[in-house]
Amino acid sequence: MCLPLCLKKMRGLSRRGFLASSVLAGGGVLLAQPPKSSAGDSRRPGEGVRFSRVVDLTHRLTVDFPTGSGQPQLKLERVSARPPDRWNIFRWVVHEHTGTHLDAPLHCSVKDSADLIPAERLVGLVAIVDIRAKAAANADVELTVDDLKQWESQHGQIAAGGIVAMCSGWDAHVRTAKFRNAGSDGALHTPGFHREAVDFLLAEREVAGIVVDTLSLDRGLSHDFPVHERWLGANRWGLECVANLGELPPAGATMVVGAPKIAGASGGPSRVFALV
């Protein structure tokens, strides 16, 4: 069987910004934009969304995956084995903040746990802010307001309901000591968001989540974690240890965050894709 891959045409309207606006509990400015009519949507019944490729933004999670503490955070305990049993089954013992994972607002505030983040807030256009050159020269570098404005000067204003990702290139180091980059001072030396960049996003843009390819939203050197405090405290989510951001276009990819829906969780390992 060889089905022709059908060429599809679609014009539609995203209601994400509108849907998301009804659930914002933290800072930022709410949208009041209603969904437009679908009069311009020419999709026929049976047509799906159109994309050219799926990019897997998830690291393969192994028991020795690097962690902030340096201690292993995943064990697999065998429940049954085939043969002699019918089923292969494991039980996971896993720290929520391990591998490519979500930081729910609850991780650093009294706001929402992972299961309370609405699905509409986990799917959005992602702005890839490329700081690879700066990060290669200085592991303690931060993504600044200027970096965000530089991105916007090229690609337009960051989309309402969208996602902002720091592409530092750090995912390439995931199997080496440089991923944690612990210094003789005991601190980790890895890039992160600057607190002023987060303040700008909270005050001036309506963004659902921020994403890093390092172990922390804050740079590793941080002791007071202002990015975690401000961003999660405003009932926003973060993603850490994301992979392959460098394979995405700077604008136009749609990120789908397969965050855990475990009641009361402060975050957890997540499967993250981009549709390009």
Name residues contacting a copy of itself, limited to 61-80 (CB under 8 A). 61-63, 74, 76, 79
Among 86, 137, 177, 186, binds a copy of itself (CB under 8 A): 86
* C-alpha pair distances (Å), 18 with each of 110, 113, 242: 25, 22, 27
Q: Does 15 bind a copy of itself (CB under 8 A)?
A: yes
Q: Does 38 bind a copy of itself (CB under 8 A)?
A: yes
Segment near a copy of itself (CB under 8 A), from 144-152, 156-164, 190-198, 212-220?
156-164
Site residues for a copy of itself, window 169-208 (CB under 8 A)?
A: 204-206
Residue 270: CB minimum distance to a copy of itself, A: 7
Distance CA 246, CA 265 (A): 30
| Nearer to a copy of itself (CB atom), residue 3 or residue 137 | 3
Residue 79: CB minimum distance to a copy of itself, A: 6
Nearest C-alpha neighbor of 124 from the set 269, 237, 215, 233: 237
Residue 252 makes CB contacts below 8 A (sequence gap 6+) with 125, 276
| Nearer to a copy of itself (CB atom), residue 52 or residue 184 | 52
Centroid of chain to Cα 49? 21
Site residues for a copy of itself, window 102-141 (CB under 8 A)?
A: 106-109, 115, 118-120, 122-123, 125
Among 25, 49, 133, 136, binds a copy of itself (CB under 8 A): 49
| Nearer to a copy of itself (CB atom), residue 38 or residue 138 | 38
Cis bond before residue 4 (omega within 30° of 0): no
Residue 60: CB minimum distance to a copy of itself, A: 5
Q: Does 23 bind a copy of itself (CB under 8 A)?
A: no
Segment near a copy of itself (CB under 8 A), from 25-33, 166-174, 193-201, 214-222?
25-33
| Nearer to a copy of itself (CB atom), residue 139 or residue 193 | 193
**Binding-residue total with a copy of itself (CB under 8 A):** 107
Q: Does 240 bind a copy of itself (CB under 8 A)?
A: no
* C-alpha pair distances (Å), 269 with each of 117, 255, 258: 15, 16, 9
Helix (H, G, I), strand (E, B) or coil at 54: strand
Cis bond before residue 83 (omega within 30° of 0): yes
Distance CA 71, CA 64 (A): 9
What does the DSSP 8-state code read for residue 242? B
Residue 136: CB minimum distance to a copy of itself, A: 26
Distance CA 40, CA 12 (A): 6
Site residues for a copy of itself, window 216-235 (CB under 8 A)?
A: 225
Name the strand (E) or helix (H) holding 227. helix 226-233
**DSSP assignment string, 103-148:** E-GGGGSSS--GGGS-GGGGEEEEEEEE-HHHHHH-TT-EE-HHHH
